[in-house]
């Protein structure tokens, strides 16, 4: 049981929408935020469906019994925000640890801190530059690209951080991430490459940061705990053999759809391109293998982009973890097919143009709101997903649920 009226499996073939005011497709952060707001603010009876067998979308986590580590099943999820509304909202359902995210990268057998900061620069150049000297160095190493606005990722990277640092830490990592020469990738993929001219190696600079004290899944369950919310798992919105399907639902009750926008329209205009992520699990007979939660691998001869050691996200749980074993997931990226989990939108000019055509069709769907990263072909951090759901509820969904004109 997830919430007050939560069940798994198929709904009854008869009267499936009886007493349902809103159908939410997708039990991830966007869908659960909308469902919670609809139940609380409009006293709407909400049916949430998900094709997976769990709630939480890509933020779903579960405990590894052998090590006591909380496994982020779809890759590392770190919560951070500077948005007061989002921070106040999420603290209604969970408290957060004092975790501060720091990332390290291995390059030619040596470990460096990321994002690139004064420590990275001085270690890389075996120097002791002051902030002023480091700024002058980086500007000089950008050469003729300094201050320019290149259209490809390779030149954009050089213009921002200089050629030596870019080629050491960004170029090959990015080539592995996208399986493409960075010279052939659009500059927009890296809108900014932060270089800090001090020794601050915090990955995020938001006002608030942390991990949910008792895990992501417990947080999501509390969001769905209102008795007006019913969650139905293992339910494919496009399976006409079960009653909660697109053709049977759309037009009968308002729908919030958080799946792939091209799938909603049966790929009628073509497939939007995504990257997906594969994980290779490795276990080590030791308490701690990397000494940090995330280790990047910047060199081309390492096939994976990074390794995630889950124990290190929760040092406060050490007493309940197995000191004799640790679990690591090594992450690599490839092009996503229709049967894969889409993670990162490729976002070439052609893909953006195709998405805008789908968005135009989405705007004409009666009583359907498209949201989330899949529904809007965008990459969002968790706080951005929640904020977009709160805004969409305010502006579009609440008015649909509280109309008094009889339509």
Q: How far apart are CA 358 and CA 227, in angstroms?
A: 35
Q: From CA 216, how far away is CA 101, in angstroms rounded?
A: 16
- The H or E element that residue 358 is part of is helix 349-362
Q: Radius of gyration of the chain from Cα atoms?
A: 23
Containing 57, the helix (H) or strand (E) segment is: none
Crossing angle of helices 382-392 and 29-41, in 10° steps, is: 40
Name every residue whose Cβ is closer than 8 Å to that of residue 290 and which is 6 or more positions away in sequence: 104, 307, 309, 312, 328
Q: Are 236 and 242 in contact (CB under 8 A)?
A: yes
Question: Which positions are annotated as active-site residues?
Answer: 192, 196, 275, 306, 331, 379, 381
The answer to whether the beta carbons of residues 38 and 21 sit under 8 Å apart is: yes
Count CB-CB contacts under 10 A for residue 204. 17
How would you class 225 by CB atoms within 10 Å of its CB: exposed for 0-12, middle for 13-18, buried for 19 or more?
middle
Integer Cα distance of 379 and 301 in angstroms: 28
Asked whether the beta carbons of 374 and 342 are under 8 A apart, the reply is yes
């Amino acid at each position: 049981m997830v919430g007050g009226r939560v069940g798994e499996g198929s709904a009854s073939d008869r009267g499936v929408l009886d007493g349902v005011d809103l159908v939410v497709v997708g039990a991830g952060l966007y869908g659960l935020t909308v469902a919670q707001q609809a139940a609380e603010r409009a006293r709407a009876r909400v049916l949430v469906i998900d094709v997976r067998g769990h709630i939480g979308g890509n933020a779903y986590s579960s405990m590894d019994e052998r090590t006591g580590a909380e496994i982020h099943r779809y890759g590392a999820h770190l919560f951070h925000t500077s948005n007061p509304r989002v921070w106040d909202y999420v603290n209604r359902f969970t408290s957060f640890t004092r975790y501060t995210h720091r990332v390290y990268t291995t390059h030619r057998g040596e470990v460096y801190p990321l994002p690139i900061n004064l420590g990275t620069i001085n270690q890389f150049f075996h120097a002791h530059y002051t902030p002023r000297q480091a700024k002058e160095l980086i500007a000089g190493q950008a050469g003729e690209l300094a201050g320019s606005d290149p259209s490809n990722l390779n030149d954009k990277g050089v213009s921002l951080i200089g050629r030596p640092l870019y080629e050491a830490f960004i170029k090959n990592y990015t080539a592995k991430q996208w399986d493409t020469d960075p010279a052939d990738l659009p500059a927009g993929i890296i809108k900014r490459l932060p270089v800090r001219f001090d020794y601050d190696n915090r990955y995020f600079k938001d006002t608030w940061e942390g991990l949910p004290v008792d895990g992501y899944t417990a947080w999501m369950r509390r969001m769905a705990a209102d008795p007006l919310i019913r969650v139905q798992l293992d339910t494919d919105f496009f399976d006409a053999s079960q009653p909660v399907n697109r053709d049977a639902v759309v037009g009968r009750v308002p729908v919030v759809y958080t799946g792939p926008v091209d799938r909603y329209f049966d790929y009628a205009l073509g497939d939007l391109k995504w990257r997906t992520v594969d994980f290779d699990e490795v276990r080590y007979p030791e308490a701690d293998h990397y000494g940090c939660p995330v280790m990047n691998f910047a060199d081309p001869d390492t096939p994976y982009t990074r390794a995630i050691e889950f124990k290190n996200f929760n040092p406060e749980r050490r007493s309940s973890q197995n000191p004799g074993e640790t679990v690591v997931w090594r992450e690599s990226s490839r092009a996503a097919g229709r049967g894969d989990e889409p993670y990162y939108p490729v976002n070439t000019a052609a893909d953006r143009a195709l998405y805008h055509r789908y968005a135009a069709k989405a705007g004409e769907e009666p009583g359907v709101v498209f949201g989330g990263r899949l529904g809007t072909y965008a990459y969002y951090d968790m706080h951005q997903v929640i904020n977009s759901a709160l805004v969409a509820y305010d502006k579009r969904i609440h008015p649909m649920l509280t109309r008094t004109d009889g339509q």
